[in-house]
Structures are given as C-alpha cells and as structure tokens.
Amino acid sequence: MITVKHFFHHETKTLSYIIYDNHSKDAVVIDPVLDFDQKTSTVSSVSLDQLCAHIESSRLNVHLIIDSHVHADHLSGAHALKKRLLVKSAIGEGFFNSQKYFSRFYDLNPAEYEPAYDHYLSHHQSVNCGSLTIKVLLTPGHTPTCTSLLIEDAVFVGDTLFQPYLGCGRTDFPSGSASTLYESITKQLYTLPDHYRVFTGHDYPQNSDEPQYQTTIGHSKRSNIMLNATTSKDDFVRERQARDQTLSPPNLLVYAMQVNILGGQLPKTPSGKHGLFMPLTVL
Ligand SMILES: [Fe+2]
C-alpha cells in the first residue's frame, strides 16, 4: 500500500507529491517547487524545506525526483532537492524537444551546466524505486514532455488532466497540441480502470478553499468539462484551441523556462552570477 502526501504551492497553484510505500518507506517525489519572488528576484527553498521536513519526520527513503513536464508556471525544485537528498532526477524523454527550442529562445547553452536530469523516461518503461514500481505513460499534448506516472492504483498526470470542473492543461505552448492531448487522454488515461485515482498538477481554489487534487478515471470520463468519454476529437480540439486563445501567458513563464530547461539549475551570467535573460520584443 502506498501513501500519497500532497503539498500545495499557493503562489503558483502547483501540487507536489511525495509517494511512499507504507512498509518499506521507499519514496519518490513528483514536481517539487523552487520558490521565486518576482518583485525581489529572490529564489528560496521554503517549499522544499516543507518536503524535506516531511521526508525526515516520516523517515522516508527517497529514491527519485520526477518532473511531470517542463513547467511554465513555476521554477522546478528538482535540481535543488536532488542535491539535498543526494538522489537522482528524471523526466520524460520529450524533454529534449523543449530544451532545444527554449535554449535557443533564451540564448542558453545547456552544455555549460550539469545534465538537466539523470534519467529520461520512455513510454511503458517500468522504474523500480526500492519496493515501489512506477509505470511510465508518455502523455504529450500540453507539452511534448508530459508524462503520467502510474504507481499501484494512483496515476500522477501533471497537467494532462485537471479536476473534472477544470478540464485539462492548455495546449498553446511550443510543440503543444490539442490533437495529441486528446490521444494521450483517451488512449493512455481513459483506458485505465475507472477506480484508479488521478492526482493532478494544479488546482485553482477560490478564496481560502482547500485545493482539490484527487479524482478518479471514472469521474473524469463521466464529467470532465473538456474531455469526457463521449467527447469527439473534433469538438475537443476546437474547444481547447478556442479556450487557449483567451489565456494569458503564465506570470513566471520567462523565468521558469530558463531554469526548467536546465532541470531546475539557475542560469549564470558570463561572470558567474545567477541571472536570467529577459528577451525584448521590439516593435
Ligand atoms: Fe504545465
């Protein structure tokens, strides 16, 4: 039996997870967040401290840190956390698509840094983390890197699927595709048993409501507002693309992409200071 512990990052509405075997205490971490204050350009590890406190108090043996995709809305804590815990990190093999595109866009050379991740996951790969076995499902569409991670009866879907009242992740990032997302959800996720638990990468609670982070495959198939079991591909693609046209870029997009194509390492200026490049659009 596994236990799933969630952590909600209020500033970016992101959910991180620690999953562990109740008996062996073998554990994995999914989507840790590095805190970033845009106004003061300050990076800190308050959220990682919370994860580490739980890991320590529950005496967990973390084996692997996994990012479900290259996040555009927050800085990945994968690199900082793996240095603290002395463990490896992983992401889907579609990562290189995003890294290639955004390293050109932001004038970054990944070869000047440590490898972004230690492992690149392929479709249907099984990953053993002590007594935990993770089955990898590549579920691109929101981004080319998106990966869902199946552990026992729980599937961690990142932004491939949201709570039924929210729908699913946007598809207007480079190499995103509503058509591909439809295939990923209907062929990879909706073919899982209805009772399987789905853990999502975001929620957007109003006021002081608690975030919702868990649903099931059956509930999603019955009532997801964007893609339920009867939604046609044409309808989904049309409505997803129409919705995408109304969305603003994520607040931290420029900052997050530069850090996240390095797996959470902070870019450096030529003189060695931590810094980020701000590309300008000149009209
Ligand atoms: Fe995302």
CB 140 within 8 A of CB 182: no
Ligand 1 centre to CA of 175 (Å) is 13
Ligand 1 centre to CA of 63 (Å) is 24
Ligand 1 centre to CA of 217 (Å) is 20
Q: Which tens digits make up the pLDDT trace of 259-279?
A: 999 999 999 988 999 999 998
Ligand 1 centre to CA of 51 (Å) is 20
Ligand 1 centre to CA of 96 (Å) is 16
Ligand 1 centre to CA of 23 (Å) is 32
Ligand 1 centre to CA of 222 (Å) is 24
Ligand 1 centre to CA of 74 (Å) is 9
Ligand 1 centre to CA of 72 (Å) is 6
User: Structure pTM?
Assistant: 0.97
Give the model's pLDDT for residue 207.
80
Rounded CA separation 91/172 (Å): 21
Ligand 1 centre to CA of 257 (Å) is 11
Q: Which tens digits make up the pLDDT trace of 58-100?
A: 999 999 999 999 999 999 999 999 999 999 999 999 999 999 9
Ligand 1 centre to CA of 145 (Å) is 10
**Alpha-carbon dihedral of residues 214, 220, 224, 228, nearest 10 degrees?**
160
Ligand 1 centre to CA of 263 (Å) is 14
Rounded alpha-carbon distances, angstroms, from residue 228 to 118, 133, 146: 36, 29, 20
Ligand 1 centre to CA of 200 (Å) is 11
Rounded CA separation 77/89 (Å): 10
Ligand 1 centre to CA of 33 (Å) is 12
Ligand 1 centre to CA of 107 (Å) is 22
- Within the chain, strands assigned E span 2-9, 14-21, 26-30, 33-37, 42-44, 61-66, 75-76, 88-92, 119-121, 126-129, 132-138, 147-151, 154-158, 197-200, 214-216
Ligand 1 centre to CA of 6 (Å) is 17
Ligand 1 centre to CA of 199 (Å) is 14
Ligand 1 centre to CA of 250 (Å) is 9
Ligand 1 centre to CA of 173 (Å) is 9
- Residue positions counted in the chain: 283
One digit per residue, pLDDT tens: the chain, 283 residues? Answer: 999 999 999 999 999 999 999 999 999 999 999 999 999 999 999 999 999 999 999 999 999 999 999 999 999 999 999 999 999 999 999 999 999 999 999 999 999 999 999 999 999 999 999 999 999 999 999 999 999 999 999 999 999 999 999 999 999 999 999 999 999 999 999 999 999 999 999 999 988 899 999 999 999 999 999 999 999 999 999 999 999 999 999 999 999 999 999 999 999 988 999 999 998 989 9
Rounded CA separation 214/220 (Å): 11
The set of long-range contacts for 117-120, using a CB threshold of 8 Å and a minimum separation of 24, is: 117/67, 117/78, 117/89, 117/90, 117/91, 117/263, 118/82, 118/88, 118/89, 118/90, 119/64, 119/88, 119/89, 119/90, 119/91, 120/90, 120/91, 120/92, 120/93, 120/95, 120/96
Give the model's pLDDT for residue 156.
98
